[in-house]
Chain A
Amino acid sequence: MSNAYLAKSVQGPNDRQYPPSASSTRALAREERKEHTAMLLLLAPALVMVVVLLILPLGWLAVQSVHTEEGFSLANYARIFQERIYWDTFSLTFKISLMVTVLSILMGFPIAFAASRLQGFWANLILLCVILPFWTSVLVRSYAWLVLLQRRGLVNQTLLDLGLIDQPLNLMHNTTGTVIGTLHVMLPFMVLPLYSVMRKIPQDLLQASNSLGATPFYTFRRVFLPMAAPGVMAGSILVFVICLGFFITPELLGGGRTILVSMLVQRNVELYHAWGAASAVGLVLLLVVFLIFWGINRFIPIERILGAR
C-alpha cells in the first residue's frame, strides 16, 4: 500500500465529511490505478518465475512430444496406448501410490492425533520424530532400508534368530520394499497437514459431546473425525501426487522390476534418447493428475482443503 492511500483512509478526529467532488473521484481513480500497477509490479517477479520455470518448460515439453523428424506426429501418444509396458507402468504407479496413501493415513492419523492432543514436550517430541527424517536425504534413507530389509539384513536376521521364519522373507527387490521405503518418506507429508487441522479442533467441542452423554468413540466418530477430514484430504492429495513422480526409492528397493512412470521417463531419455516419448509420458501423467484434482474438486473444493491448513 502506498502512503498516500493510507493517509486518505486514516481519518483524524477533526476530519469533516464532504461529498466527494469530481476532482477527488478522479484522484481516487488515479490512486487506484497506481495501486494496481504497484501490485502488478510487486507480483511481476513471482509471475515471471512461474512463466519461465513452469509454463515455458511445460510448453516446450508439449511441443517436443508432438514434434518428430517428419514434423507433427502423435506417434508418441499412440505408443502409450498401444504398448502394454506403458499401461502396466501407469497402473503399477497408481497402485503403489494408492497403497502408500492409504497406509500413510492409517499410520499418520494416530501420530497426528497424539501430537495434537498432547501438550508441550511430548507433542514437540512426536513432531520432531516426524520431521527428523526430512533432514536426511531420500537416498540415504533408501539405503538404510536396504540394510534393514535385505536377505541378510537386520529384519530377516532377527526373525530367523527368533525362529519365526525358516527362510528369509523377500522384503525388498519388489513392490513390498518399494511401498515400505516410499511410505517412510511420505509419512511427514500426511502427518503435518493432519496435525495442523487437528490442532484447530477445540477441546471444548469434544468435552461438550462427552458431557451430553456420548461415548468417547461416538465423540470421535461424529465430532472429531468430520472436522479432521479436510486434513486427511490435504495429506492424501499431497502424498498421492508426490508418489506418482517418485523415483529414487523404487529404483533402489524395487529390484529393477518395479518400474514406475518416472523411471520410464528416465529410461526413455537416457537409454533411447527419445525426448519426445519421455515428454509425452510426462504430459500424460500431468494430465491424469489434473483429472484427479478436477474430480476431487467437484466433491470438495480444493481451496477449502488446502485453505484448512
Chain B
Amino acid sequence: MPTSTTRVLQLASLAFIGSSVQLALADEITFVSQGGAYQDAQSKAILEPAAKKLGLTLKQDSSPKAYPIIKTQVESGKVTWDVVDLPTGDCIRGEQEGLFEKLDLALIPNAAQIPAELKDDYSVGYISYSTVLAYRTDAFDSASAPKTWADFWDVKQYPGQRALRNLPRPTLEIALMADGVAPDKLYPLDVDRAFKKLEQLKPHIATWWTSGGQSAQLISDGEVDMIQAWNGRISAVQADGAPVAFDYNQGVLETNSLCVLKGTPNKTAAMKFVNEAIDARLQAALPLIIDYGPLNPKAFDTGTIPAERAARLPSSPQNLPRQALLSAKWWASQDGVKAEERWLSFVQRK
C-alpha cells in the first residue's frame, strides 16, 4: 500500500510540474464542439493545424448541449472553456445574456472575408448545413420527382409517405415556401400562415422525426418516400447505397458560429485561434472529410475543394443562392420563442 500511494503521489506531482511547465511555455486554449464525427473531422482539418500554426496547446471538450454549461461557467466566474462552436441561435442568445466576449477584429482579420449576414460583434460564422428535400429514387424517377416544397405538399401529383421534423425550425420556413413565399422574403415569419399550411399536410405525414439518425433511418429503410432532412444525413445514406436523392433547391441553410467565453483568461489566444479557424485554407480542408460547408467563401477559391465536391456542399457559390438562410435572430426573438411553444400542441392534436 504505502509504496503504491507514494508512487501515485509522485506521478501526480510529476504531472503537475509537467503541466505547469507547459503553461509557462505555451498558451493553452480549450475548444468545445458537439463531439462525434463532426468534431473529429474539424479537429483534423482545422483545429490541430490552427493550434500548430499558433504554437498553442489545444485542449478539446465536447458537449451536444453546451449552452447551459457555458452559462454556468460564465456566471460562476470559473471559465475553463475558451472558444465554442455553437449553433448560431445559441450564440445570439448568449450575446443577449452577456456570456461572450466582443470579437477583437484586430486579432481576427479573416473575419472580413465572412459575409456580413453570417457574423456580428460577438460571433462569426464557422460552418453550415442545410435542410433539404430528399426522396426515394425507387418511388420517383428524376423527371417526376418532387423538387420544391410545393411539390412536397402536393399529395395528388406526388403520392407517398412523408416525414417532417418534429420542430418548427425550419419546418415553418418550409411550409411558407410551399405556400409560395420567396426564400429571401421569409422573415419575419408569418407564423399563422405557416401553421395553416402545415395543417393541410398533417394528415399525410407518416412520422414527425426528432433526431437526425431517425430521419436517415426513415428514408433509407423506405419507411417514407420523401423527407425533410439534413444534407449530411442524406449523403451518408447515399454512401450506404440507399436509392435516395436530394437537391439544394429551396433548402434552408443553418450555420454554426464561433464565440469566445466572457472572462476567459486566454482571451488573446482565443481570438487568434478564431482567426485561424475561419482561415480560407483550413476551412477548405473540412469538406474533404465531412459534409459541412465552410462559411468563408474564399475557401472555394483555394483550389483545395474539387468541383464535384463543391457541387455537393451547401455553402458553395452555386448552391448558396438557391437556398434560404435561416435567421437565428428571428428564432431568438419573442415571436420565435412563441412559435416554438405552439408546435407541440399542433403536432399532438388530430
Query: Does A256 touch B at the CB level, under 8 Å?
Result: yes
Considering the complex, which residues of chain A in the window 240-275 have a beta carbon less than 8 Å from any beta carbon of chain B? 251-252, 255-257, 259, 264, 267, 270-273
Contact with A along B332-343 (1 / 0, CB 8 A): 000001001100
Q: Which of chain B's residues have a CB closer than 8 A to the CB of A84?
A: 345, 349
Known pairs A173-B206, A251-B210, A257-B208; A152 contacts B347 (CB<8 A): no
Nearest CB of A to B117, in Å:
25
What is the size, in residues, of chain A's interface with B at 8 Å between Cβ atoms? 23
Query: Does A31 touch B at the CB level, under 8 Å?
Result: no
Instruction: Specify which of A83, A150, A252, A257 is in contact with B347 (CB 8 Å cutoff).
Output: A257
Known pairs A150-B223, A256-B210; A272 contacts B347 (CB<8 A): no
Whether A256 lies near B347 (C-beta < 8 A) is yes
Number of A-B contacts (CB under 8 A): 49
Whether A88 lies near B345 (C-beta < 8 A) is yes
Query: Does B158 touch A at the CB level, under 8 Å?
Result: no
Query: Does A85 touch B at the CB level, under 8 Å?
Result: yes
Q: Which of chain A's residues have a CB closer than 8 A to the CB of B68?
A: 273
Q: Which of chain A's residues have a CB closer than 8 A to the CB of B166?
A: 256
Whether B344 lies near A85 (C-beta < 8 A) is yes
Considering the complex, which residues of chain B in the window 68-87 have a beta carbon less than 8 Å from any beta carbon of chain A? 68
Considering the complex, which residues of chain B in the window 293-343 have a beta carbon less than 8 Å from any beta carbon of chain A? 337, 340-341
Known pairs A255-B206, A256-B208; A152 contacts B345 (CB<8 A): no
Whether A152 lies near B207 (C-beta < 8 A) is no
Known pairs A150-B221, A150-B223; A267 contacts B208 (CB<8 A): no
Provide the bound-state CA to CA distance between A272 and B336, in Å: 11
Q: Which of chain A's residues have a CB closer than 8 A to the CB of B221?
A: 150, 152
Provide the bound-state CA to CA distance between A96 and B295, in Å: 47
Provide the bound-state CA to CA distance between A255 and B207, in Å: 5
Provide the bound-state CA to CA distance between A269 and B68, in Å: 11
Instruction: Specify which of A85, A151, A252, A272 is in contact with B345 (CB 8 Å cutoff).
Output: A85
Provide the bound-state CA to CA distance between A85 and B341, in Å: 10
Q: Which of chain B's residues have a CB closer than 8 A to the CB of A88?
A: 345, 348-349
Report 26 cross-chain contacts, Cβ distance below 8 Å, ordered by A residue: A83-B345, A84-B345, A85-B344, A88-B345, A88-B348, A89-B348, A92-B348, A146-B217, A151-B223, A152-B221, A152-B222, A152-B223, A173-B207, A255-B206, A255-B208, A256-B208, A256-B347, A257-B208, A259-B344, A264-B344, A267-B344, A270-B65, A271-B340, A272-B340, A272-B341, A273-B68
Which 4 pairs across A and B sit closest by C-beta, in order of nearness?
A: A256-B208, A85-B345, A256-B166, A255-B207
Question: Which residues of A does B touch, CB under 8 Å?
Answer: 83-85, 88-89, 92, 146, 150-152, 173, 251-252, 255-257, 259, 264, 267, 270-273
